[in-house]
Structure 1
Amino acid sequence: MTAFSRVFSATLLIGSCNLFGAGLSLPAALEILENNNLEIKTAALDLQSAQRDTSIAKGYNFGSLDLTQNFVRSNDAGNVFGFKLSSREANFGDFSADEFMANFMAGSPDYTTPPKRLNYPGYQNYYQSKLTYMLPIFTGGKLSAYGDIAEKMEQIKKLDSDHMKTEKRYELRKSYYDMALLQHSIDQMNTIHKNISTLERTTQMMLQEGYAKKVDLLEVEAKKANVERSLTEMEANKKLLYHYLSFLLNENVTEIELPASDYPASLISEEDVLSNNTDLKKAHEGLEIRDRMVDLAYAPFLPQIGAFAEASSADDTFLGNFNDHKAYTVGAKLSWNLFNGAVDKNALEKARIEKLKTTTEVELAKKGIALQYDKIRTEIDSLNSQVKSLEKELELSDTIYKNYEGRYHEHLASMSDVIIKQSQQIEKVLNLQMVKNQRNERIFALEKLSNGVK
């Protein structure tokens, strides 16, 4: 499937979801994310730029072919004579042979008087067409090292692009599960609100019959207002989540299909993390770059050899007598720096030291990632225990509230006691949501650490 087809199908999917009232599912959102997210697109463009850098670095191996076209007019003696030689049009007259022969025939040859025609020539036009091809034959490994380094940099950019996709997928999935948690809490708070409304009506009836006090009704109304305030905050958070989802997908999202569970399970092992972690992969690529930089630092100790070939034609008119005046030149050049004050030696030692340093940093990064894995796993286990405990506490709090509500109807408990128990119930709901959110965040952080492996 082409990129256009994926975007088109994703757009149709959003349209159909809005048309039939069905929410946007997480798998569909993930596909839209990969095609529409602006940060992912920017990372992809960075990768394309790095690919061009690789092509540039490798292109130097093929040398260069240059076309030079000269258009010159001069009366400089050296230029004029050189132009004529280059265009194969020089003759004895250019040496003022006629002056010499006239003196010679007159019996008075003159060897000291400067020849006027040679020293004071007239203006000469010069049109030269020249093709020059230069090829590096041996550069001490410089060109191959530059090409390898460019390839490694390209690979790092690819890892950055993959990491950006993982990061945005992490944010999208977390937003979906945050929405599921939030909706679950809203449902629970609506149930509590419904119970308070029932209690409010009951208290009003008991107040009319003289079995309750005005303060009892005020306490119920205050608690109802408190629950409504919490629901308003939750609905506002829900809108903010939709705004953030729209930003991630670069599309207007008004409704989503909630995950079946608000608890994303994860079976990621430490081996998965160490094998797939982006930072570790980049560190290994960086180590290979350092290795090639050692080769690059060694190149100045070796000779540099290049070859060139040149074909040209010249005339006093543009492209005149092109075939008759053509000329060829081929050659090679060797240069070898034998001494430069130990600069190359120290540069090589520095490159080797930097490689050792990078090797140590890679090992340190590996241990650091393993430490992060252990830390996140420990936090997940701790949060799982807290969730189980809070779920039990919430179940108990619900039971206690119902018990106190019944006792109030039987005049065995005050309205203040009922409100206190309901406040504890609400507190458990909010605490449970917070801890579940923290647990899910840690699970997604573990997935991000393994570059999206689940």
Structure 2
Amino acid sequence: MELAKRNNQELQQAQLNLERNQFVLQEALTAWYPSLSTSARIDYGQGARGQISAQATRDAQGQETVPPAQRTPNPGPSGSFTATLSLNYNLYTGGQRPAQVRLAEEQLNLQQLEVERLSEEIRLQVTLAYYNLQEADARVEISQAAVTESAQILRDTELLEQAGLGTRFEVLQQQVELANDSQGLTNALSDQRIARRQLAELLNLSQSAEITAADPIEIAGSWDLSLEQSLILSYKNRSELEQQLVQRKINKEQRTIALAAVRPQLSVFGQIDLLDDLNDTLGFGDGYSVGAQFQWNFFDGGAAMARAKQEDIDVAVAESSFANQRDQIRFEIEQAYSQLNSNEESIETASFALEVAEESLRLARLRFQA
């Protein structure tokens, strides 16, 4: 069983999706915290416009005839350093933020249920495949015994014919019986190979792997619960039903998120600025700003309401799927419960028939020996 779960590709993908949804939830939870960012910039250079302006000033003042030492100098290179620290926080999101967190939580829960469902499905498939292999092995043994017995009876019938105590018709009849038993053995061997291959496929083993059932065929146990108790237990333990309930919650949270687009939004912010002119010796200057921003997109042409209506329909679909899944589970339990009772009666009947057949065979051998 552990080998099947470890090698099943679908289960591995579900587990990876579960791990991914854990990080999706972690991302959604970060919406409760403010965002903090910083930036810094340093500039140093000399602009061409400054030189042109200085030359124009000299021309206007007639400084071309003035000695160079007395002229207005060209502006030199300048530099500055700026830094900013900003903080932003969405104070009210119209219900979007808590809905997104709950949505991520329910999606994580849904994926956990999917992993559980796949694990139980693998367990059921491997169990049934193993039982089928046990049955196929038993049919091969039965067919081999039937061929051996038919061959012995044919030899005995031929001896009776040679002794004048039997007929040619009886010999031909027994030859047909041996041929039928041989064909049954061939079919049983084919079914055995198919059963082995099916189990190997579930275990994700190579085609060359030789699989045999190690456990003997025996009654696995008794089921002491009534039909109603079995139904209640199945409703409680089947993850398929819980998945539909979780899906309904997901659709409701998505509806809340859709309506948040036309609800008021309120955010606050703060910022600290630093500035230093590299051409002077005055040091840093600082400043700050704080504020709040209100935004309300109260009309979007009905898009948000349309998305909300879609989620309402998805809620109804999930509820309908829940009812259908519950009815399907009830049918499966009732069918399995009926088959269980029938199998118990078949075991008792087969045990009695085996005792009668063994006694009949013993008497037939005694009569033949006589």
Provide the TM-score with structure 1 as the length reference: 0.62
- Please say if 1:41 is aligned against 2:12: yes
SS in 2 for 1:172: helix
Question: For each residue in 1:223-275, what CA deviation from the matched residue of structure 2 results, as whole angstroms up to 9, or x when unmatched?
Answer: 32332232233233323333333333345453332244156644471101111
SS in 2 for 1:269: helix
Match of 1:338 in 2: 298
CA distance in 1, matches of 2:130, 2:281: 78
SS in 2 for 1:333: strand
> Which of 255, 260, 271 is the aligned partner of 2:232?
271
- Please say if 1:254 is aligned against 2:211: yes
Give the letter for the 2:199 counterpart.
L
Contact in 1 for aligned 2:267/2:292 (Cα 8 Å): yes
SS in 2 for 1:255: coil
CA distance in 2, matches of 1:164, 1:249: 14
Task: Indicate how the Cα distance of structure 1 residues 353 and 213 shifts in structure 2: closer, same or farther if over 3 A, else same.
Answer: closer
- Please say if 1:307 is aligned against 2:268: yes
Give the letter for the 1:183 counterpart.
D
- Please say if 1:32 is aligned against 2:3: yes
Question: For each residue in 1:257-311, what CA deviation from the matched residue of structure 2 results, as whole angstroms up to 9, or x when unmatched?
Answer: 2244156644471101111122210111112223323433442453211223334
Deviation for aligned residue 1:136: 1.7
Match of 1:192 in 2: 146
Match of 1:235 in 2: 189
CA distance in 2, matches of 1:219, 1:123: 118
Match of 1:293 in 2: 254
Task: Indicate how the Cα distance of structure 1 residues 247 and 354 shifts in structure 2: closer, same or farther if over 3 A, else same.
Answer: closer
Contact in 2 for aligned 1:177/1:258 (Cα 8 Å): no
Match of 1:431 in 2: none
Task: Indicate how the Cα distance of structure 1 residues 126 and 209 shifts in structure 2: closer, same or farther if over 3 A, else same.
Answer: farther
Match of 1:324 in 2: 284
Question: For each residue in 1:125-167, what CA deviation from the matched residue of structure 2 results, as whole angstroms up to 9, or x when unmatched?
Answer: 7765544333222101101101111111111111111111111
CA distance in 1, matches of 2:263, 2:253: 16
Match of 1:425 in 2: none
SS in 2 for 1:254: coil
CA distance in 2, matches of 1:220, 1:183: 26
CA RMSD for the aligned pairs? 4.3
Contact in 2 for aligned 1:245/1:253 (Cα 8 Å): no
Question: For each residue in 1:5-42, what CA deviation from the matched residue of structure 2 results, as whole angstroms up to 9, or x when unmatched?
Answer: xxxxxxxxxxxxxxxxxxxxxxxxx2333334333222
SS in 1 for 2:284: coil
Question: For each residue in 1:307-335, what CA deviation from the matched residue of structure 2 results, as whole angstroms up to 9, or x when unmatched?
Answer: 23334546688xx9997155544332111
> Which of 108, 115, 118 is the aligned partner of 1:161?
115
Give the letter for the 2:113 counterpart.
L
CA distance in 2, matches of 1:321, 1:381: 98
Question: For each residue in 1:75-128, what CA deviation from the matched residue of structure 2 results, as whole angstroms up to 9, or x when unmatched?
Answer: 999xx99xxxxxxxxxxxxx99x96xx98xxxxxxxxxxxxxxxxx99877765
Contact in 2 for aligned 1:127/1:316 (Cα 8 Å): yes
Task: Indicate how the Cα distance of structure 1 residues 65 and 360 shifts in structure 2: closer, same or farther if over 3 A, else same.
Answer: same
Q: How does 1:14-413 map to 2 (within 5 A)?
A: 30-68=1-39, 128-214=82-168, 216-251=170-205, 252=209, 254-261=211-218, 265-266=222-223, 267=225, 269-313=230-274, 324-325=284-285, 327-345=287-305, 347-348=307-308, 351-352=311-312, 354-356=314-316, 358-381=318-341
CA distance in 1, matches of 2:37, 2:82: 13
CA distance in 2, matches of 1:322, 1:305: 39
CA distance in 2, matches of 1:305, 1:57: 19
Contact in 1 for aligned 2:41/2:81 (Cα 8 Å): yes
SS in 2 for 1:201: helix
Contact in 1 for aligned 2:270/2:289 (Cα 8 Å): yes
Task: Indicate how the Cα distance of structure 1 residues 363 and 244 shifts in structure 2: closer, same or farther if over 3 A, else same.
Answer: closer
The count of residues paired between Structure 1 and Structure 2 equals 347
CA distance in 2, matches of 1:153, 1:294: 15
CA distance in 1, matches of 2:309, 2:211: 61
CA distance in 2, matches of 1:278, 1:300: 34
**Unpaired runs of 5+ in structure 2?**
62-74
CA distance in 2, matches of 1:323, 1:279: 68
CA distance in 2, matches of 1:200, 1:322: 120
Q: How does 1:408-423 map to 2 (within 5 A)?
A: none
Give the letter for the 2:195 counterpart.
L
Contact in 1 for aligned 2:43/2:80 (Cα 8 Å): yes
Contact in 2 for aligned 1:71/1:127 (Cα 8 Å): yes
Task: Indicate how the Cα distance of structure 1 residues 236 and 122 shifts in structure 2: closer, same or farther if over 3 A, else same.
Answer: farther
Deviation for aligned residue 1:50: 1.9
Deviation for aligned residue 1:203: 2.3
Deviation for aligned residue 1:174: 1.1
